[in-house]
Amino acid sequence: MAKKKRIDLRHAKSGMVLAAPVLSENGRVIINEDVALTEAMLQNLATWQIPAISIWDESELPRQFSVTHFTDEYDSTVQLVDSAFASMRFCGELPLAEMQQNVINSVLQMTDTIGALHHLQAMRRLGEYTIHHSVGVSVICGVLGKWLGYDGTALRDLVLAGLLHDIGKTQVPEELLGKPEKLTDEEMSQMRQHSALAIQLLRKTETATMDVVLAILQHHERMDGSGYPNGLRGDQIHPYARILAVADLYDAVTNDRPFQQKMSPFGAARLIAGDMYDKLDTATSATFLEHLRDYFTGIQVQLSDGRLAEVVMIGSDYTFQPVVKTQDGKFIDIGRTPSLKISQLAGS
Ligand SMILES: [Fe+2]
């Protein structure tokens, strides 16, 4: 069991994980325990003249629980996926055996990290959008897969499907992928070929299982038949593809894309809730949203007027409009305050 350590605030660094809540002079929680500190949080703690904090001693923590390790795994996974995609684009070869060994293990370690979805928001996404998106989706597939009870080979397949779901985009002209404006109808239909194109690529490589192939082929199919490439419905869509659809949507909208600015995870949750009875699989979405609600309760967020606040309660109605408590102790019901919204998680 890891040890708690009390340290002077001057020695605190971003990435350290709090072992006890930081309290204000009158006993209010400023930041909850198990939250990884960010630079912004440290600055705020200094402003509030907090003298010392309790952290988990990283040297005692299993490596997979440290945010530093998460960042290392994230960066090295991005590099490996980047070179795998490049070798696909330029040589027509996918180093699948290597991905199955090293990359999946890295993603599973990220998946096992406390606050993985939170850390994912804080990663710096420099370089090609598709590469970061692929790594993000695979981590979310791992987290959601575990919440749904997957483990062993099934979980590894799910993570691999996440990593490779957009591999077909290596066959789409690069100008289209990075185009800052909205795509024309013609360009959009070219882009939409990526899920079917992936199958031709995977056929050439040895060991992708049928589950992985179907997950990738069907990740843009929708439960009501409105998806592509085949307009499949309901049970015709592989369960992994339904998980992938939720993970894909969540990662896409919570990150800046060439033609669209990111929204907060709360907005993303609302979007999933809006689609969960027609386009997305209801049970998969419900599991994701239930866990997200627990996940976001107690965290620090930034409000649209710039204030920091703690999420105190999120209702069970999937509107993801929480009650928050500001630093000066005011409780605000975001759902009843049209002038305010949650901009971002603090520090992301
Ligand atoms: Fe896709």
CATH number at residue 33: 3.90.105.10
Q: Give the residue-averaged pLDDT of 280-293.
A: 95
Same domain (yes/no): 145, 86: yes
Is the dihedral angle over the CA atoms 316, 318, 321, 324 positive or is it negative?
positive
Same domain membership, residue 86 and residue 45: no
Question: How many other β-carbons are positioned within 10 Å of the β-carbon of residue 32?
Answer: 16
Alpha carbon dihedral 100, 213, 256, 76, in 10-degree steps, equals 10
Q: How far is the CA of 220 from the centre of ligand 1 (A)?
A: 6
Q: How far is the CA of 198 from the centre of ligand 1 (A)?
A: 10
CA of 14 to the centre of ligand 1 (A): 34
Alpha carbon of 208 to ligand 1 centroid (Å): 18
- Quick check: is 281 in a domain? no
pLDDT score at 1: 46
Pair (234, 341) in one structural domain: no
Dump pLDDT digits (tens) for 64-78.
557 788 999 999 999
Range with the largest mean pLDDT of 13-17, 119-123, 330-334: 330-334
Distance 86 CA to ligand 1 centre (A): 17
Residue 321 domain boundaries: 298-345
Kindly state whether residues 50 and 70 are assigned to the same domain. no
Nearest to 176 by CA among 159, 196, 190, 155: 190
**Domain end call among 262, 283, 306:** 262
194 CA distance to ligand 1 middle (Å): 7
Asked if the structure places residue 290 within a domain, the reply is: no
The secondary structure element, H or E, covering residue 324 is strand 323-326
Q: Are residues 232 and 165 in the same domain?
A: yes
**pLDDT tens digits along 228-247:** 999 999 999 999 999 999 99
- Is residue 137 located within the same domain as residue 14? no
CA of 249 to the centre of ligand 1 (A): 9
Residue 121 belongs to some domain of the structure: yes
Same domain, 256 and 150: yes
Same domain as 313, residue 173:
no
Residues 14 and 105 in one domain: no
**Is the domain of 208 the same as that of 115?**
yes
279 has pLDDT over 70 = yes
Say if residue 178 is in the same domain as residue 302.
Answer: no
* pLDDT tens figures, 102-132: 899 999 999 988 788 988 988 888 888 899 9
